[in-house]
Amino acid sequence: MVFTPSPMLLKLLYTRGSLHNQPDGAGVAFSIKNRLDTVRLMKVEQVRLDDTVVPAANIRLDLGGGDIRPATDLGADGSLNLPVGQVLTFSLATPPLAAGMHRLRVQFSTDAFGELSVEVEDAIASQDGRVRIPRVEGDDYAAAAIQARQQFAEDFTGQKYKHLKQYSFDPHDLQGNCESFVGVAQVPVGLAGPLLVNGEHAQGEFLIPLATTEGTLVASYNRGMQALNLCGGVKCTVIGDAMQRAPVFVFDDARGARDFGRWVAESLPQIRPEAESTSRIAKLQYIDTYLSNKFAYLRFNFSTGDAAGQNMVGRATFAACSWILEHYPGAPIRHFYLESNFATDKKASQINVMRTRGKRVVAEATVKRDILQQRLRVTPEQLAYHGQVSNVGAFLSGANNNGAHSANGITALFIATGQDVANVSESSAGVLYSEVTPEGDLYLNITIPSLIVATYGGGTGLATQNECLRMLGCVGQGTVNKFAEIVAGVVLAGELSLGAAISSSDWVSSHEQYGRNR
């Protein structure tokens, strides 16, 4: 452990809204979550509620899963391991609190940080009488807990759910992926391809699993893949890799923010080891500073291995900012927020198009004139001219993609392989380019500037999702760039197929024939 958490960051350990009176007058409880780094809890001194001091003898610590122990068990004879993400619930043997705001101060010590004090305010909510979804403390993924929610859903809605309740995996595998689990949504998966990819990481033919309910989607991508294969496949290249977290620091005036930005740039050699102390994988590449009003926005850029890395870089940036808050010698920092909305998590943005978020990957191919005419019923000139016209439409509309439908293939692959589907908002950005070659063929190229993918972590290890990744040969260390290249190749196939369908006026007739489920 390198960094020392500042009081401002220590407040973030407390789980807002967790303060509550326990049933049957059994006391008061609240939760703290370890958002710093793996430590050992050595001692709990006391908790102060308003003006009442609750000693360790009247405190129990609940780690979940039935693991409850007196706070007095800590000390010289024992300590408690607290990994990152661990929630620790404090149960206090004290009279119930009245509804309204209350002051809390938790005093404890750890092996890494020494003595710490978390001081916050939280409220006891008044009872609103709302119906609540059943949950089971300890093991909320047990069969009894799941069946209770299924019965609750049927009773509440007056409906029976046969298919929702059918699944083939151990629900305990979902811990960290889905809360209040009740069943599964069965999304059809179709096969397209094989697609011939000539990448630096993905080389050869790949069967493509596409999870979708949109008619003609799989058929359209398959058509584009066949055309690309007949012309030697698609060349794919990862040209950038960066995942961001963007904190903001607030000053009294613009000059304070400007001086702070200069200091950060000069202090990067000291900041980098603080950030990287939290992970074996996350590596801080650089920090961009953007100034506006009296605010300094820092955009931390990391590489994150095979993980998408949003949580990883959040933790690393948290550590770096803790060091900054402790060591900045200049004007007072009035406020600090770990995320300023400048990383544009789960949102399309121009900065991600320009600066990269996730993987920046390019797919390109030269499609022969005779293949275009025989297979897709268009000429290179038709498609290239159509591209120019559609560029104007994309410009006028302010779209983040001048192509046809990147999001279709990306979303279908994301659902099939356990990606965070909300990342389609960033990943769907694209820059499509085409030209007629001197030989009269069509050169087609798409840059995906912010493709956020993973082959490790998140939903990639779940049952069917992992099977689809195995179908692509993208399980195991060092496979994320291979997966990124495959995704880009699939996107280009879709652009070619739909672009040709619109240019040849086959678009509506194909949907009428194959894509309408009346």
Looking up tokens 């990481």 gives: 201
The pairing of strands 114-124 and 20-21 is: unpaired
Concatenating the DSSP letter of every residue in 458-509 gives: TTTTSHHHHHHHHHTT--STT-HHHHHHHHHHHHHHHHHHHHHHHHTT-HHH
Cα separation, 186 vs 180, whole angstroms: 18
Cα separation, 232 vs 71, whole angstroms: 67
- Take residue 148 and report the two structure tokens written for it: 């209770």
The pairing of strands 28-33 and 20-21 is: antiparallel
Quick one: 290 exposed, middle or buried, by C-beta within 10 A (0-12, 13-18, 19+)? middle
Per the annotation, the verdict on 241 as an active-site residue is: no
Catalytic residue among 214, 259, 288, 467: 214
Cα separation, 313 vs 297, whole angstroms: 16
Cα separation, 144 vs 146, whole angstroms: 6
Per the annotation, the verdict on 426 as an active-site residue is: no
HSE-up of 171 (CA within 13 Å, CB side)? 19
HSE-up of 11 (CA within 13 Å, CB side)? 11
Catalytic residue among 420, 426, 441, 495: 420
Q: What is the largest CA-CA distance in the chain?
A: 85
Q: Among candidates 283, 306, 304, which has minimal Cα distance to 457?
A: 306
Phi then psi for residue 419, to 5 deg, are: -75, 165
Answer whether 102's CB lies under 8 Å from 50's CB.
yes
Q: Distances in Å between the alpha carbon of 323 and those of 6, 264, 340, 346?
A: 8, 11, 18, 27
Per the annotation, the verdict on 121 as an active-site residue is: no
Write out the catalytic residue numbers: 214, 420, 511
